[in-house]
Amino acid sequence: MRNRKIFWIVAISLIVFAIGITANYFGSIYAIDRASSPVADIVLSNIPVYDVDGAFVFGPIMLWLFFIIVLVRNPQKVPFALEALGLLLVTRAVFVTLTHIGPFPEHVAITYNFLGFFSAGGDLFFSGHTSMPFMMALCFWKDIRLRAIFIGASIFFGAVVLMGHLHYSIDVAAAFFITYTVYHIATIIFKKPLKVFDNGWAVLEHNRQG
């Protein structure tokens, strides 16, 4: 019985995460088709374009590999972490379909296409490079070292996308506030996975006995 509950709670989290990735991808495609003219930006208009191609592409890959290792070492944290990230991706998909501002005229060219499955490149508001590691930080807030690593990654990637003129400054600034809100919504929607995240798989057995 307990193994069956573990199977279903993990399976549902994977489905939620997959829905998030799919929604984010197609939202990006829609945003490209509906993109309008670019706008002025107080930050981008006053700094040169830096070659951050490698950091933009390979940085998130390294972060995700590290995140996967963290989850493998703490499998009870998989359901809530994936559901929180999935909800964030769905929220982002909604935002990018509502906002159709064109990319800033001068920006670094991305020569690598490893992130093509995740984003079609037209998703500006809000920054996924900033919001995803910040959501990881919120999930692992009680672990000081992981919190510091993920917040550092969020700030670093925020700087990267601005230096490459790949996001507007509002995309980066708003990401923190939106992600914080989505996290607290996730704690309300996914109460059981959150209990498992904090207390381990034994919570499922206790719930059955109760």
User: Any idea of the CA torsion for 175, 148, 77, 82, to the nearest 10 degrees?
Assistant: 20
Q: Which domain holds residue 136?
A: 2-209
Q: By the 8 A CB rule, do 126 and 174 touch?
A: yes
What per-residue confidence (pLDDT) applies to 121?
Answer: 57
What per-residue confidence (pLDDT) applies to 209?
Answer: 43
Q: How many domains does the chain have?
A: 1
Rounded to an integer, what distance in angstroms lies between the CA atom of residue 175 and that of residue 95? 11
Residue ranges for the chain with pLDDT beneath 70 = 1-2, 112-122, 206-210
Q: Which of 99, 120, 82 is nearest to 175 (CA)?
A: 99
DSSP H helices in 34-164: 53-73, 78-98, 128-139, 144-163
Question: Rounded to two decimals, what is the model's pTM?
Answer: 0.91
Rounded to an integer, what distance in angstroms lies between the CA atom of residue 85 and that of residue 106? 31
What confidence tens digit (pLDDT) does each residue in 107-140 have?
887 776 665 556 555 678 889 999 999 999 999 9
Other CB atoms within 10 Å distance of the CB of residue 133:
28
What per-residue confidence (pLDDT) applies to 210?
Answer: 38
What confidence tens digit (pLDDT) does each residue in 152-178 have?
999 999 999 999 999 999 999 999 999
